[in-house]
C-alpha cells in the first residue's frame, strides 16, 4: 500500500484523490479459520478530497504516514500515540489534532490500510512487561549500535520495549514459555527458580498483555518453536487475558494475525482448581457472569472441551480467585506441585 503515491497519482491524472479505508467496526469483523482469530472483512469506506468534511482527515492521514516513514527511515526513534498527538502541534492550526482520539483513529486507519501493526511504523505502546530466562537477544540500542543482552543477566528481567520486540533471538536453552498475569506471581516464580526447574522463559504480562508483549510471545513461539503456557487469575477476565494472547481481540481485529499465538495454552488458575485446592475466593460479579456466557458461545472456543467445562464450573460455583491464592500452601508449592501437575496435563515438553 503506497498511501502517498496513490494520492499523487490521482492528482497527476486530474482526478479527485480519495482513500479506501477498511471499516473497523464489529459489523466488519469475521472469524478467520486459517489464522484462528478475528480479522477485518472486505468492507471499506472512502474518504474523498471532493468532500469538504473529509479533506482535513485525509490530509492528516497523509501527514502521519509521511511522519512515520521518516521515523522508519531514520531507524532509531519511536513515538507513542500520546507523543504523536503533541507533536502535531508543530504542524500548524490546519493539521494539528484537537484531541488525542482523533490522532489515535488516524493511526488505526493506517494500520488497517497497510495490514501491519503500528509498531512496524515506529508508533509504539508504552513499554510494559518483561522477560526472564536464558535467552540472548541482539538488537540496536537507541544510538543504532548492535548489542546482545541475555535476559538472565538482569535482576528482574529485561523490559519488553520497542527495540526488544523486534530483536534477533541469538541463542536460548529454554524449552517452553510461561506467561504470567501478575507481577507478584512473576516475581515468585523467579525467586523459586521456575526458569531452571522448567527450563522456561518467564514473561510478566502485568495484567492485560501489551501489544509488544503479545508480539514477542508470538515470535518466540513461531521462530523458536517454544510452546506457550499462560498462567492467570481464576476469573473470567484472567481467562480473557489468555484468550487475547491466543486469538486476539475485537479491537485489534485489523492486526490480530500479527499478534496472536493460536497454539498457546491456558494453564489456569481454573474454576476446578478453586474447588480442588480449596482456594480463597470471591463471588462472581454480574459482569463476570456476562463474560462467561459470551465465551460459551464464542466461535473460537466452542470446540475447546476443557475450556467449556471450566466455564460451566464457574457458573455452578459462582466464585473466582486470584492466582496468589495458591500460596496458602507455601512459597514453594506453586513451583513444586501446582505448575508441574498443570504442565504435565498439557503435555509440556520435558515435564514428567
CB burial class (10 A; 0-12, 13-18, 19+) of residue 254? buried
Query: Can 186 be counted among the known catalytic residues?
Result: no
The dihedral of CA 287, 291, 297, 303: what is its sign? negative
Residue where the block lists cell 500548524? 92
Distance CA(199)–CA(175), nearest Å, equals: 6
Distance CA(60)–CA(273), nearest Å, equals: 52
Catalytic residue from among 31, 86, 186, 301:
86
In whole angstroms, how large is the CA radius of gyration of the chain? Answer: 23
Distance CA(215)–CA(209), nearest Å, equals: 10
DSSP string for 115-168? TS-GGGGTEEPPP--EEESSEEEEEE-TTS-EEEEETTSSSS-EE--HHHHT-E
What is the number of helices (H) and of strands (E) in the chain? 15, 17
Taking Cα atoms as reference points, which of 261, 167, 279 lies closest to residue 209?
261
Q: Which residues are catalytic?
A: 86
Amino acid at each position: 500500500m503506497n498511501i502517498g503515491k496513490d494520492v499523487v497519482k490521482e492528482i497527476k491524472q486530474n482526478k479527485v484523490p480519495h482513500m479506501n479505508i477498511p471499516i473497523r467496526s464489529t459489523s466488519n469483523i469475521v472469524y478467520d479459520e486459517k489464522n484462528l482469530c478475528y480479522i477485518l472483512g472486505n468492507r471499506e469506506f472512502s474518504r474523498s478530497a471532493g468532500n469538504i468534511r473529509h479533506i482535513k482527515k485525509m490530509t492528516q492521514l497523509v501527514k502521519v504516514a509521511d511522519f512515520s516513514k521518516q521515523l522508519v527511515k531514520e531507524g532509531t526513534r519511536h513515538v507513542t500515540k500520546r507523543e504523536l498527538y503533541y507533536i502535531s502541534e508543530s504542524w500548524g492550526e490546519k493539521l494539528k489534532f484537537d484531541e488525542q482520539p482523533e490522532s489515535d483513529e488516524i493511526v488505526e486507519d493506517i494500520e488497517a490500510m497497510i495490514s501491519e501493526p503500528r509498531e512496524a511504523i515506529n508508533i509504539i505502546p508504552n513499554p510494559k512487561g518483561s522477560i526472564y530466562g536464558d535467552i540472548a537477544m541482539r538488537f540496536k540500542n537507541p544510538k543504532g549500535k548492535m548489542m546482545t543482552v541475555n535476559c538472565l543477566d538482569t535482576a528482574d528481567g529485561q523490559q519488553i520495549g520497542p527495540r526488544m520486540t523486534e530483536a534477533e533471538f541469538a541463542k536460548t536453552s529454554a524449552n517452553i514459555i510461561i506467561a504470567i498475569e501478575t507481577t507478584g506471581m512473576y516475581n515468585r516464580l523467579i525467586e523459586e527458580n521456575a526458569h531452571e526447574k522448567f527450563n522456561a522463559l518467564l514473561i510478566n504480562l502485568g495484567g492485560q498483555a501489551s501489544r509488544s508483549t503479545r508480539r514477542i510471545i508470538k515470535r518466540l513461539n513461531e521462530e523458536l518453536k517454544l510452546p506457550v503456557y499462560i498462567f492467570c487469575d481464576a476469573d473470567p477476565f484472567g481467562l480473557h487475558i489468555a484468550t487475547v494472547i491466543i486469538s486476539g481481540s475485537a479491537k485489534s481485529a485489523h492486526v490480530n494475525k500479527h499478534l496472536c499465538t493460536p497454539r498457546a495454552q491456558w494453564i489456569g488458575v481454573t474454576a476446578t482448581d478453586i474447588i480442588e485446592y480449596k482456594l480463597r475466593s470471591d463471588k462472581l460479579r454480574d459482569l463476570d457472569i456476562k463474560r462467561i456466557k459470551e465465551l460459551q458461545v464464542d466461535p473460537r472456543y466452542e470446540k475447546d472441551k476443557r475450556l467449556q467445562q471450566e466455564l460451566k464450573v464457574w457458573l455452578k460455583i459462582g466464585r473466582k480467585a486470584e492466582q496468589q491464592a495458591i500460596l496458602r500452601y507455601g512459597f514453594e508449592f506453586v513451583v513444586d506441585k501446582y505448575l508441574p501437575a498443570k504442565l504435565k496435563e498439557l503435555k509440556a515438553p520435558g515435564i514428567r
